[in-house]
Amino acid sequence: MQLPFEIDLKDKVAVITGGGGILCSTFAKALARCGARVAILDLRKQNADAVAEEINAQGGTAIGVEANVLEIDSLNNAKKVVNEKLGPCDILINGAGGNHPKGTTTKEYLFKEDLENKNANIITFFDLDPKGIEFVFNLNFIGTLLPTQVFAKDMVDKKGAVIVNISSMNAFTPLTKIPAYSGAKAAVSNFTQWLAVHMSRVGIRVNAIAPGFFLTDQNRTLLTNPDGSYTERAQKILSQTPMGRFGQSEELIGTLLWLVDEGASGFVNGTVIPVDGGFSAYSGV
């Protein structure tokens, strides 16, 4: 990995939830390259361990830790491991999140005939499963709030303490079909602003990155066909992205490093930074 620039994170401890995924594993590697000791938290410990092993093999310091961001006891146990092996948290990246099919409609628009001629293969707004909606909202919003409750206690009055949440372009303009995910990410952006104000007197800065469209393990089957070509939805996304392509995970690193570096962004607080190839700037005309 080649960093766009390097910052000095020596003696800093970074905790990354969802660290086994494509985007957050890239964050972990970048922070480690800058000298941070990195705790990679993931529900699937084998994924977290794999990222940690790669970092350690490159001369960095990292551990994989099993954690469920929806369970406070699991997070407290993870914190004990982190504090014992690496030390208390300085940088918290809340990256755990995702969508669920039960919070997704089949079509972009509601058509009267889909209500009159019921088809089990078509999920309309009226068929959305409340449990699916709840799962998506909890994973993204509660899964940001709870890790912050657990790890931010150690960050109070620490120089350079910073929290970076992962929002989405859905928070600005909701995509069709995924009301639960869009609403949950809007909550993450709002929570970022609220938390920035709340923590401002104890020296913790709070910001968020809102990625545009990146190919990840979670969305790959939605955006690419088995032969590697783009699906209709992917083509529509690209038609609305002025740069005409999906982002690469490494293209988020510069924004992340800027936000976590006190010297570069010490007065930046409560912001949500789009990294979207111009998607949010384009009117479609």
Strand-pairing partners, residue 162, are: 91, 205
- Residue bearing tokens 């089949």: 106
Q: Which of 109, 181, 230, 282 is catalytic?
A: 181
Active site residue 181: yes
Distance, in Å, from the CA atom of 86 to the CA atom of 158, rounded to the nearest integer, reads 16
Rounded (10°) angle between helices 143-151 and 179-198 = 30
Distance, in Å, from the CA atom of 238 to the CA atom of 241, rounded to the nearest integer, reads 5
Distance, in Å, from the CA atom of 257 to the CA atom of 266, rounded to the nearest integer, reads 12
* Closest to 140 measured CA to CA, from 197, 189, 105, 101: 189
- Bin 164: left if φ > 0, else alpha if -120 < ψ < 50, else beta: beta
List, by residue number, the catalytic residues: 181
